[in-house]
Structure 1
Amino acid sequence: MATLNIKVHPSFHQKTLKDFFDFYHVGKKNQYKLTLQGVYIDGKKAVTQHHIEQGQTITIELEDMILPMAAKAPIEVIYEDDDLLIVNKPIDLLVHTDGIAKDDLNQRVTYYMARKGYKQEVLPAHRLDKDTSGMVIYAKHILALSYLSYLFESHQMEKTYVALTTPNLRQKKGRIDKAIGASRHEDKQIINDQGQSALSLYEVIEQNPDYARLKVSILGGRKHQIRVHLAFIGHPILGDKLYGGLSYERLALHFHQVSFVHPTSLVKVNFESKVPF
């Protein structure tokens, strides 16, 4: 059985084990499951009502899993520690299986971790469209997954994309605050006042007669958000056939930079992925 060991951060001093789990947004059902499997404070069996102190070690027993079949394909690792795995997703690759494709990023990550002897399911805290490249952040255990998923959902991840669009934008910086919903008539997303709120902030960082290079930060993370928003202002992403973009060798959209508070050090970290266009 694998174990997860976490040194108690000063911010949890004299808090209960339940407070600790709540900070990571672990649900009540999973808190019960973990304590049933085995949670220890400095080697002594603990329950959620137990108080913890700075410098103590919380040990959580994790049940070994039989990992699914995985694609034997390489991955590009940007960063890895005991909690996180950040990989670079190429274009034309799904994060999650669609039940048809024989290869996806999750399978590649599973194969990578299995080769290292890891017996836990490593899951992504978010996703990217098939045609978008860039970083995908994986969690190595349930605390990290619950925590990172919450950061994404509560807009506490600072996400920056780079995109190429048609040139001659009227403004060097802009704000697109338009709700997005699914089209009833086509397999695409549209601006819809009854849709989900979405905010995109863009800045032109390069411009020439052929294209404009934009840095785009988003709140919301709606499906196709950047693609829909940039098309709405008349500057669709190059290579985006679905939303009227000009012909290009690929969809020119890349998840370039992310900043967030690390789950165990509780220090803000920043990661970047090289833009391939």
Structure 2
Amino acid sequence: MSAENRIIASFVIPPKLSDKRLDQAAAELMPEHSRSRLQSWVKSGALTVNGGQCRPRDKVMLGDKLELDAEPEAQVTWQAEAITLDIVYEDEHILIINKPAGLVVHPAAGHADGTLVNAILNIAPEVENLPRAGIVHRLDKDTSGVMVVARSLIAHTSLVNQLQTRTMGREYEAVVVGTLTGGATVDAPIGRHPTERKRMAVVKSGKPAVTHYRVIERFAAHTHVRCKLESGRTHQIRVHLTHVKHPLVGDPVYGGRLRLPKGTTEELREVLSGFHRQALHARQLTLEHPQTGETMSWDVPLPEDFQLLLAALRKHVKDMESDEF
């Protein structure tokens, strides 16, 4: 098997991973692979330390060199399903998809089928040989918008590297509660909530996370913002904007109770109370093509429910202005 069809990677142990178990350090350095997969590579000798074979529980030290040279295996057992996808772009290496709200990305407990992965297996069965079926980043179930899926090992390696080095550009649009006076940056670590394990939170022990946001449009008691990520933590935008007291409209986990602005019309009340997902849309994705190196960018329009929300907020502002005269 040629080198380009093998999973090849090399890492040097940084200070933060020194004195960790080999399988733990490998999981930190290669999060796209499952812990069991990494352990099997260690045991088979495909994943070495300083050129030698070790055990998963052996400790690694600062400066140790980890090298992986493994043959890909079918890594998924999920079934292909004929689910319609909005494919924005495709070639032999990547798929660019405009994911609708409500579609789960990856099979998990409670969602064994009907996911984006099941749909991708139907149109690109070759992804069964890739880590996580080519999924290199995710969008929450109820977040809509653009995302990339790898179709080849070359693409998978390149895209994971772009995410880790923060050279992949991802921009989102959101509607938040409250009126923001201007843009800002939230630089706060995110980790599992200390008592509510299904939620994430800003915690000192969390992983570094940076979100930049700027104002697109202000309303009477809400703001339409553009967000740019420097990291990709679970629920990052939702957690960070909640942290600065501006949760996303409709967020069932972090939004709290419905807050209605003064003078809310029945029309706006119905729109806000009926918006049952976080008002978050992955608007733009920019990356280097894994094979050609060309910088490519895709911008997908806001979905209908998001547009209707904005229209209702604008109309409310106009109605308030009309009442003043």
Q: Which amino acid aligns with 1:253?
A: L
Counterpart check, 1:217 vs 2:244: no
8 Å contact kept, 1:25–1:147: no
Deviation, 1:244, is 2.2
8 Å contact kept, 2:74–2:128: yes
Residues 117-266 of structure 1 mapped to structure 2, 5 A cutoff: 123-170=134-181, 172-186=182-196, 187-245=198-256, 246=258, 247=273, 248-266=275-293
Counterpart check, 1:97 vs 2:124: no
Q: Distance in 2 between matches of 1:249 and 1:99?
A: 22
Counterpart check, 1:83 vs 2:65: no
Q: Secondary structure at the match of 1:144?
A: helix
Q: Secondary structure at the match of 1:215?
A: strand
Deviation, 1:66, is 9.5
Give TM-score, length-normalised by structure 1. Answer: 0.73
- What corresponds to 2:120 in structure 1? 109
Give TM-score, length-normalised by structure 2. Answer: 0.63
How well do the aligned residues superpose, as a CA RMSD in angstroms?
2.9
Q: Distance in 1 between matches of 2:8 and 2:218?
A: 46
**Once superposed, which parts of structure 1, at least 4 consecutive aligned residues long, lie more than 3 Å away?**
61-68, 117-122
Q: Secondary structure at the match of 2:124?
A: helix
Q: How big is each residue's C-alpha offset from its partner over 1:249-271, in whole Å with a ceiling of 9 and x where there is no partner?
A: 42111111011211111121111
Structure 1 pair 263/211, CA: closer, same or farther in 2 (3 Å)? Answer: same
Deviation, 1:241, is 2.1
Deviation, 1:191, is 1.0
Q: Secondary structure at the match of 1:85?
A: strand
Q: Distance in 2 between matches of 1:103 and 1:216?
A: 29
Q: Secondary structure at the match of 1:239?
A: coil
Query: Which protein has the bigger helix share?
Result: 2
Structure 1 pair 219/66, CA: closer, same or farther in 2 (3 Å)? Answer: closer
Asked which structure has the greater RCO (Cα within 8 Å, sep 6+), the reply is 1
Q: Distance in 2 between matches of 1:156 and 1:244?
A: 31
Q: Which amino acid aligns with 1:125?
A: V
Q: Secondary structure at the match of 2:154?
A: helix
Structure 1: which 5+ runs fail to align?
A: 5-16, 34-60
Q: Distance in 1 between matches of 2:294 and 2:127?
A: 26
- What corresponds to 1:55 in structure 2? none
- What corresponds to 1:26 in structure 2? 8
Structure 2: which 5+ runs fail to align?
A: 11-40, 47-70, 259-272, 307-325
8 Å contact kept, 1:199–1:218: yes
Deviation, 1:99, is 3.8
Q: Distance in 1 between matches of 2:166 and 2:7?
A: 15
Count the aligned residue pairs: 226
Q: Distance in 1 between matches of 2:127 and 2:282?
A: 27
- What corresponds to 2:21 in structure 1? none
Structure 1 pair 75/233, CA: closer, same or farther in 2 (3 Å)? Answer: same
Query: Which protein has the bigger strand share?
Result: 1
Q: How big is each residue's C-alpha offset from its partner over 1:73-108, in whole Å with a ceiling of 9 and x where there is no partner?
A: 111101111211011111122111014322100101
Q: Distance in 1 between matches of 2:175 and 2:95?
A: 28
Q: Distance in 2 between matches of 1:173 and 1:80?
A: 34
8 Å contact kept, 1:67–1:110: no
